[in-house]
Structure 1
Amino acid sequence: MVVPFCGHIKGGMRPGKKVLVMGIVDLNPESFAISLTCGDSEDPPADVAIELKAVFTDRQLLRNSCISGQRGEEQSAIPYFPFIPDQPFRVEILCEHPRFRVFVDGHQLFDFYHRIQTLSAIDTIKINGDLQITKLG
């Protein structure tokens, strides 16, 4: 799969639904991002329910939303930085009623409480940056 990638989430998100992204981090990465959005419109930009951005220079995993062009409050606290250059990874985003639960390589890293309440409207996944995608599910 080619990066940047944009794909449809059949039926949108709902409690109990999981999005899986497996890939390999590039050898000299700066950053990559995985976003779940409400459609793929560029103008006006689609609402972003959750954006996960791995920043290698700071070893941070930032998350945020963007609704009606307004970015929300960025969250950055994580117990450890899970991504290693030139190594495979597995990210699972589990949708629950009040939140997304995010797991990396089987370990729960954080919760992100929904800022978009109509979960079924979250129907697009976008991936870009310094990685290769090996599997989506």
Structure 2
Amino acid sequence: MEPVIDPPVPYLGQIQGGFTPGQMIRVQGFASPVGDRFDINFQTSANTAPRDDIGLHLSVRLAEGYVARNSIQGGVWGEEQNSGDLPIQPGEKYEIIVLSDNREFKVSKLI
């Protein structure tokens, strides 16, 4: 799969072949020093109104100090997970790795 470099914001793109178990996605970016949050969604297709299912929603809440994790199935949000420290700070470069597993997503912040 070809990397996507300097995409427009917001960016909506397709993962060729899907995001199947054993695959890994790397997202690199820069957290705005004046922004309060940014989101990364792994969505089943491109519809945003109404929104298609989201297998993984990561919402980096810079102003609130945590990362929310959730999903949408059948138009309904699941139970938000938000425990743990915020590994990304405003004005900081970041790299987030997401690994697709058979039953879950594994998320890691490297930089």
| RCO higher in structure (CA 8 A, sep ≥6) | 1
Give the TM-score normalised by the residue count of structure 1: 0.73
Please identify runs of 4+ aligned residues in structure 1 that moved more than 6 A.
Answer: none
Tell me the equivalent position of 1:41: 47
Alignment of 1:1-137 (within 5 A): 1-78=7-84, 80-105=85-110
The CA deviation at 1:44 is 2.8
Higher strand share: 1
Where do 5+ consecutive residues of structure 2 fail to align? Answer: 1-6
Q: Deviations over 1:70-129 (max 9, x none)?
A: 100000011x211111111000110011110001016xxxxxxxxxxxxxxxxxxxxxxx
Aligned-pair Cα RMSD in Å: 1.1
- Post-superposition shift, 1:8? 0.6
Deviation at 1:17, TM superposition (A): 0.4
Cα deviation for residue 26 of structure 1 reads: 0.7
TM-score between the two structures when normalised by the length of structure 2: 0.89
Distance 1:2 1:84 in 2: 22
Structure 1 gap ranges (5+)? 107-137
Measured after TM superposition, the shift of residue 11 of structure 1 is 0.5
